Structure 1
């Protein structure tokens, strides 16, 4: 049997040159339909958002590979719209994961003001000063009126949540970020959703919604320290004499 000679050659390790596909992927040259499919905003919407934060995000750098404000906005929108991991977004756009992370975090610095807001929850939640729940087994007429209004309002909110989550899939998927960052992501998605409405951006194609019974759920039987505020609301706004 003929001998098999193996020649071993030393192949020098070559560092892979970093490549960026931003000119291909992060471009406004798509049609509005194509842009909305990727970023949830058309060209005018992306420019509108860019102008809102241009002074803050313009980078004073001579690096040729620095992302423009528009490209930073598009990276963030792709992350929120797709719900993909930062690494996947980076691979898709030809950017390092660290770059995507820095860009996304740069857009999560604004805090909202919830001081005058009241949350609505079903009877599975405790009644709190900031969280109003339905009356259990209401006997008074104004309590029943309050419950009807509570149910109708929650129905509107649930439909809004459906639109919101279809627009930004990051709200659908599991998010393993720090809870403080997740809070900011939810806030930013809410702000962007309102801007979409302001700019008449079309809704994402509707998916079948799950109709939830707003009156059902496991009743909460713990301390009800928001009952005084709830009673005040029912008496003030729903008690017709």
Structure 2
């Protein structure tokens, strides 16, 4: 009997005791300004995220103390906003690093599913409103969006397809294509191609050409010289003549600048997408879901008129090689651009 009791006591001493961490709820401690600084959103919006994630997140567990959804959402927003290591965000919110790793992508997917706010304008009223907003920027008519690509750094990787992700700047990245409105809201994103992929290739293999061909009332996208001139895609003159062509270029650049600003605000709001916050240390498929989540959260911040972080915009990385448009001339596109030039 003594031997049995000794064995049980020894097993009990070797068994790891459960640790109940202190999970102080930041929603009860911080003001809206402090929450925006740390999590990019005020209390009412974070509570809305918690409710949406709670409805969509599947959390089967036999534990008597499951993770609170509020802690899961706050820790996820912290990583996206600050680019912190998982262990740092987990410690702040009283979560173990393994638990955080298991739940992180689930919260990201739940946010993606609940935030259905990346929609290209297709209704007549919405298209007209978008064109009027762009017209007020620099008097460029009939614009429904500005398009460009930006590089999202990811951790170095190995494998047969590594070269696909090495951008011309020498680091591993995903080349994200974005179309934005004049108020910096994303209406379309494509973020499944590696950093070595050219902007023009991404556009040609997206749904945008078909959408623009069928757009009610017609309209144009504005792109830089990295894109080919198309009847629905206006690019600047590479060597503009003095007068109307220079005025056209000036208006084009000023109007298209909103997409550069949108990328800058996106990356300053969510530092995980910029090199100052490190790089996304996940597989490319997971990185794509994280990038999409940040874009949807960015749109929600625009809708709720939440100010951008105080540090302002950050330098962005883009793949802006000049496309040799002179070798592929589209007569209809050239005529359309010449008609626009005469307005100036």
TM-score for both structures, normalised by structure 2: 0.53
Partner of 1:23: 23
Distance in 2 between residues matched to 1:20 and 1:41, nearest whole Å: 28
Cα deviation, residue 140, structure 1: 9.8
Q: Distance in 2 between matches of 1:211 and 1:59?
A: 37
1:90 CA displacement? 2.5
- Higher-Rg structure is 1
Over 3 Å counting, the alpha-carbon distance change for 1:122 and 1:59 in structure 2 is: same
SS in 1 for 2:23: helix
Give SS of 1:175's match: coil
The CA deviation at 1:95 is: 2.3
Q: After TM superposition, give the deviation of residue 81 of structure 1 in Å.
A: 0.8
The correspondence of residues 208-219 of structure 1 with structure 2, limited to 5 A, is 219=322
> Which whole-Å CA distance do the structure 2 matches of 1:228 and 1:170 have between them?
43
In structure 2, the CA distance between the partners of 1:162 and 1:21, relative to structure 1 (3 Å rule), is farther
Q: Which has the higher contact order (CA 8 A, sep 6+)?
A: 1
Q: In the TM superposition, what is the alpha-carbon distance from 1:104 to its structure 2 partner?
A: 2.1
| Separation of aligned partners in 2, 1:153 and 1:15 | 65
Please state if 1:234 is matched with 2:337.
yes
User: Using a 3 Å threshold, how does the CA distance of structure 1 residues 208 and 55 change in structure 2: closer, same or farther?
Assistant: closer
Check conservation: 2:76, 2:108, Cα contact below 8 A: no
Corresponding residue for residue 281 of structure 2: 176
RMSD: 4.0
Q: Deviations over 1:85-131 (max 9, x none)?
A: 223323333323332223221133348664348976543x3527798
The whole-number CA distance in structure 2 between the counterparts of 1:119 and 1:185 is 26
Query: Which one of 250, 253, 260 corresponds to residue 148 of structure 1?
Result: 250
- Cα offset for 1:177? 1.7
Name the one with the larger strand percent.
Answer: 2
Q: Any stretches of 5+ residues in structure 2 without a counterpart?
A: 1-9, 120-187, 189-206, 212-219
Q: Spell out, residue by residue over 1:134-164, the C-alpha distance to the aligned partner (whole angstroms, 9 max, x if none).
A: 3311359776555334311332222222222
Which of 125-134 and 55-64 deviates more? 125-134
Question: Structure 1: where are the runs of 5+ without partners?
Answer: 1-10
Matches within 5 A, 1:1-241: 14=14, 16-21=16-21, 23-24=23-24, 26-32=25-31, 33-57=33-57, 59=59, 61=61, 63-109=63-109, 110=112, 114=188, 115-116=207-208, 121-123=223-225, 125-127=226-228, 133-139=235-241, 144=246, 146-172=248-274, 173-207=278-312, 219-221=322-324, 231=334, 234=337, 239-240=342-343
Q: Secondary structure at the match of 1:103?
A: helix
Residues matched between the structures, number: 226
Q: What's the CA shift for 1:74?
A: 1.0
Sort the Cα spacing of 1:150 and 1:83 in 2 relative to 1 into closer, same or farther, 3 A: same
Q: TM-score, structure 1 length as denominator?
A: 0.71
> Contact between 1:131 and 1:226, CA under 8 Å: does it hold in 2?
no
CA–CA separation in structure 1 for the residues paired with 2:292 and 2:81: 14
Structure 1 59/221 Cα, relative in aligned 2: closer, same or farther at 3 Å?
A: same
Does structure 2 retain, via aligned residues, the 8 Å contact 1:162–1:209? yes
What does the per-residue CA deviation read over 1:200-223, in whole Å, with 9 as the maximum and x for residues that have no partner?
3232113475599x9xx7644488
